[in-house]
Structure 1
Amino acid sequence: MVEQALDVLLHGRRIGTAARSSARAPHHVTLAWNDDLVAGPVRLSESFALLPGTSPPTKLASNFLGGYAPEGNQRQALADDRGIAKDDLFGLLREFGGSMAGALIFQAPDEDPKYSPKYDELTETQLGRLLRKAVTESDLGTQDDSRSMIQGFQPKVLLAQLDGKTWLQPHGRAHSTHILKPQLSTKPSKLYDEFYSHQLARHMGLSSFDSAIHNAGPLKYLAIERFDRTIDNGTVSLLHQEDASQALGIDWVDADSKFQSRERPTDRARPSLGRIAELYATLSDPAALHTWIRQLTYRVLVGDNDGHAKNYGILHLDGVDTVTDVYDAVPNLYQEGRIEWNMAFSIDGQFDHRRMSLDRLVAEVDGWGAIARSDAEKLVMGTVRQFIAALEAIPAPAEASKGMRAALEWNTERLIDGKEISERRS
């Protein structure tokens, strides 16, 4: 039996179809745009053009769409639940493409035109059960009829809160408004480290989404407001986004491809800071590159060694493409059991966080040739001073990793003194 192609909708407007590419390449799909397509005010992607009556290159289109899928155990669990292979892109879009990051929706062409989203109200006990299930089964806490998925490795649950207080579980392609991350018994402090980073970033104007730590019975969780969702009179609206890995056309199947290769740092199949800088420099928002340089500096200051290409995003708004809020910037280097100091990208030729300095950050930015060196110095130094002010204003949670706050202060002191961060001795 021939599989039905899926309708592709952007902000509720049908723009084309998606079909399985071939049985020999399940990780690929083929997109075809409507002949009568009229370009709307929101760009679909930075990785390929949306031209009426055409099909974008299969590999680029597949890497863009596959980039919306979860990774690791999360993808395997979702695929197993629906009886498909974990790298079956068409299957993933058919089963879970009803609500993804951003504003793209995939649906069957014969879907009831009167479809309306449905939610279940959750008790505290039910919420705790979902969070524990997400940890043990890596299933995103989804319903059997859920058509939702989100990127990433970490256990999480996708829920909605339409009234500001009641947690709702989405059915079908009903949209979530929050990502809930349960506390892990193996890394109990990580939840508080991430929350503290949210607080610092908000103080510095690098993010605006809300977050808070709550309890579901004895289980703690971090509730994060989605920056690609808005709520108006109980209705969820979508903001379109993609991450830098998708925009650069990076392979979606290999989980390591979002990192720069340390063995072959100039490998064009992998991202680099220079390639991401080129991407942001072309966005219609003239402040995009400057904003991203501040975000890069912040990740160095906070000790985030997981700032890969999927953790930098592009927000496609009405008439403008800009940088997303900083997200998933966690002080990983100060958690118990950390195994290495290497960052996701080299900065001025160095991956080791201990070798980072103001001169190295400025030299990296200057090497892109996109802004004047004096502007790079002002941006980097200004971000360091804002970080210092945030540290002074916001105390770290008592439950955060031991020594994390002192390490962040150490980082700023070393950079301000013109030295490499090196390794703090407790």
Structure 2
Amino acid sequence: MADEVLDVWMDGFPRPAGRLARTSHGDTAFLYNADYASAGGPSLSLSLPVDMEAFGDIETRAFFANLLPENAQLQRVMEREGLARDDVVGLLKHLGADCAGSVSCVPTGAAPIKSPGVLTEDYEPLEDRALLRIAKSLRDERRLPVEVADPSPVAGVQSKIALTVLPGGAFALPREGTRVPTTHILKVPGRRDARDTRNEEAAAILASAAGLDVSIPTAIKIGEVDALLIARFDRQVRNGVVTRIHQEDFAQALGLPSELKYQRRGKPGRWFDVEAALTVLDRTRDPQAARLAFLRATVFNLCIGNTDNHAKNHAVLYDGPGAPRFAPLYDLLPIRLSKEYTHELAFQIGAAKTFDDITGEDLIDFFETLGAPPEHLDRLLQDEIRPIIESLEAASPRLRSSGLKPFNDVLGREMEELAERLQLDVKIEPRDYYPTEGT
């Protein structure tokens, strides 16, 4: 018997997609509504295809738990409402009104989420003093001020808030009770990680220079607080109207809980590895293009020292009819600069678990697993991999001129190592040797 039930809405449909329930035993279940299915409503996830049978706890929990933030806001709701961390339905009752993508979870019978949002009517501008208070609280306390609720909690561990940028450039929050979509995410690192804002902006600019599809954030100052302003690729603004675009990360698409977003945390069949990624890529609208994009993204991440490209840092975007496409890259950082993270790869490259263990054979095995036939490997190296490294080298002076010397050093080191292991004759200017940190 259901103990708590939420209506699950997909943006743009006049009736709920289905119902999310928690039983008296603590299990979760999800069932699509028959009228939603008969009207041709899309699946919430590749792991939850439209079906008239209820999905059980494992499949349901994996998708919906991945909608929850993993930060102080979640902790505050748990403490205020007396909820356990594994009470996904109870937590979404308070945090699910405007999730990533087009999904909204609200108490049964509640009014549907308003969509679209009209910029001139549905948003309340933030005064400079209020915005600064939010930024300082996120930086120093790692949470929002007690009087501020995030209108659209986004999954992840970083301190951030979803907000809207109005046509004149002012920041705003949805007017109370409207629950309209936001347009941006404001991410604020702690004091000691303030440079991450510039590193993440620079990494995205490098990705664009290498020809990758990427969401480029902007490093900004709010008073003396360093912050990163990120335009949401799961939102669209047209003629002053904001609408949602559905998306899901690879963990959701694979039916994996966030705890298994790294290969090292799972086991065969229940982890994020290259073969698992392929099962998502091959269900996109252009599987061959998606495979190549994932391959190029992985090479880029290796070049910049980003070992944190886990399942929740890859996504698919439902921005057209039918199957989704591989989403723009996001959350790009030279993690090898940090002592706070393990430097084990998010997923193995061939048999290698760390960058320093990767051999040329491991890289070739990775390329072949993604579908590059042996007879075409030289063409792949010359037409795809070599241009990435050359483009990054050509764009790297921006790092030096921006005062990001450590990033530039690790970039040069990693590119040199990759080029050597793939036997590519690429000219890379000497940098200072950068001793990698972490374990």
Question: Partner letter of residue 327 of structure 2?
Answer: T
In the TM superposition, what are the counterparts of 1:57-68 in structure 2 within 5 Å? 57-68=56-67
Q: Deviations over 1:101-137 (max 9, x none)?
A: 1111122343346957643211222111112222344
* 1:324 counterpart residue number: 327
Question: Partner letter of residue 7 of structure 2?
Answer: D
CA distance in 2, matches of 1:313, 1:305: 17
Q: Deviations over 1:241-289 (max 9, x none)?
A: 111111111124xx3x211127x7x532222122112321232223111
TM-score (norm 1): 0.87
Does residue 1:107 correspond to 2:106, yes or no?
A: yes
What is the deviation of 1:417? Answer: 2.8
Does residue 1:388 correspond to 2:390, yes or no?
A: yes
CA distance in 2, matches of 1:109, 1:285: 37
In the TM superposition, what are the counterparts of 1:221-370 in structure 2 within 5 Å? 221-252=227-258, 255=259, 257-261=260-264, 266-286=267-287, 287-319=289-321, 320-335=323-338, 337-338=339-340, 340-367=342-369, 370=371
* 1:49 counterpart residue number: 49
Question: Partner letter of residue 183 of structure 2?
Answer: T
What is the deviation of 1:17? Answer: 3.2
* 1:8 counterpart residue number: 8
What is the deviation of 1:95? Answer: 1.1
Question: Partner letter of residue 102 of structure 1?
Answer: G
TM-score (norm 2): 0.85
CA distance in 1, matches of 2:48, 2:376: 31
Q: Relative to 1, partners in 2 of residues 1:74 and 1:357: Cα closer, same or farther, differing over 3 Å? A: farther
* 3-state SS in 2 of match to 1:277: helix
CA distance in 2, matches of 1:39, 1:350: 47
What is the deviation of 1:352? Answer: 1.3
Say which is worse superposed, 86-95 or 353-362, in terms of deviation: 353-362
Question: Partner letter of residue 302 of structure 1?
Answer: I
What is the deviation of 1:149? Answer: 1.4
Question: Partner letter of residue 180 of structure 2?
Answer: A
Q: Tell me if structure 1 keeps the 8 A contact 2:350–2:361.
A: no
What is the deviation of 1:339? Answer: 5.5
Q: Deviations over 1:300-343 (max 9, x none)?
A: 111112111111111123223111111112101023x3564311
Unaligned runs of 5+ in 2: 425-431
Which of 402, 410, 415 is residue 418 of structure 2 equivalent to? Answer: 415
CA distance in 1, matches of 2:79, 2:378: 50
Does residue 1:85 correspond to 2:81, yes or no?
A: no
CA distance in 2, matches of 1:194, 1:219: 16
In the TM superposition, what are the counterparts of 1:157-176 in structure 2 within 5 Å? 157-163=161-167, 165-170=169-174, 171-172=176-177, 173-176=179-182
CA distance in 2, matches of 1:247, 1:9: 18
Q: Relative to 1, partners in 2 of residues 1:120 and 1:212: Cα closer, same or farther, differing over 3 Å? A: same
* 1:179 counterpart residue number: 185
Q: Relative to 1, partners in 2 of residues 1:348 and 1:128: Cα closer, same or farther, differing over 3 Å? A: same
CA distance in 2, matches of 1:143, 1:161: 21
Q: Relative to 1, partners in 2 of residues 1:408 and 1:146: Cα closer, same or farther, differing over 3 Å? A: closer
CA distance in 1, matches of 2:211, 2:11: 28
Q: Tell me if structure 2 keeps the 8 A contact 1:50–1:56.
A: no
CA distance in 2, matches of 1:290, 1:154: 29
Q: Tell me if structure 2 keeps the 8 A contact 1:141–1:156.
A: no
Q: Tell me if structure 2 keeps the 8 A contact 1:288–1:323.
A: yes
Q: Tell me if structure 2 keeps the 8 A contact 1:128–1:216.
A: yes
CA distance in 2, matches of 1:291, 1:165: 33
* 2:135 counterpart residue number: 131
Question: Partner letter of residue 261 of structure 1?
Answer: R
CA distance in 2, matches of 1:112, 1:105: 11
CA distance in 2, matches of 1:373, 1:57: 42
CA distance in 1, matches of 2:163, 2:71: 21
Q: Relative to 1, partners in 2 of residues 1:377 and 1:358: Cα closer, same or farther, differing over 3 Å? A: farther
What is the deviation of 1:143? Answer: 5.9
Q: Relative to 1, partners in 2 of residues 1:160 and 1:148: Cα closer, same or farther, differing over 3 Å? A: same
Q: Relative to 1, partners in 2 of residues 1:114 and 1:131: Cα closer, same or farther, differing over 3 Å? A: closer
* Cα-Cα RMSD: 3.0
Question: Partner letter of residue 125 of structure 1?
Answer: R
CA distance in 1, matches of 2:362, 2:303: 13
Which of 200, 203, 206 is residue 200 of structure 1 equivalent to? Answer: 206
CA distance in 1, matches of 2:168, 2:377: 40
CA distance in 2, matches of 1:74, 1:62: 20
Q: Relative to 1, partners in 2 of residues 1:333 and 1:176: Cα closer, same or farther, differing over 3 Å? A: same
CA distance in 2, matches of 1:308, 1:209: 17
CA distance in 1, matches of 2:348, 2:250: 16
Unaligned runs of 5+ in 1: none
CA distance in 2, matches of 1:114, 1:306: 34
CA distance in 2, matches of 1:244, 1:77: 27
Question: Partner letter of residue 344 of structure 2?
Answer: N
Q: Tell me if structure 2 keeps the 8 A contact 1:200–1:387.
A: no
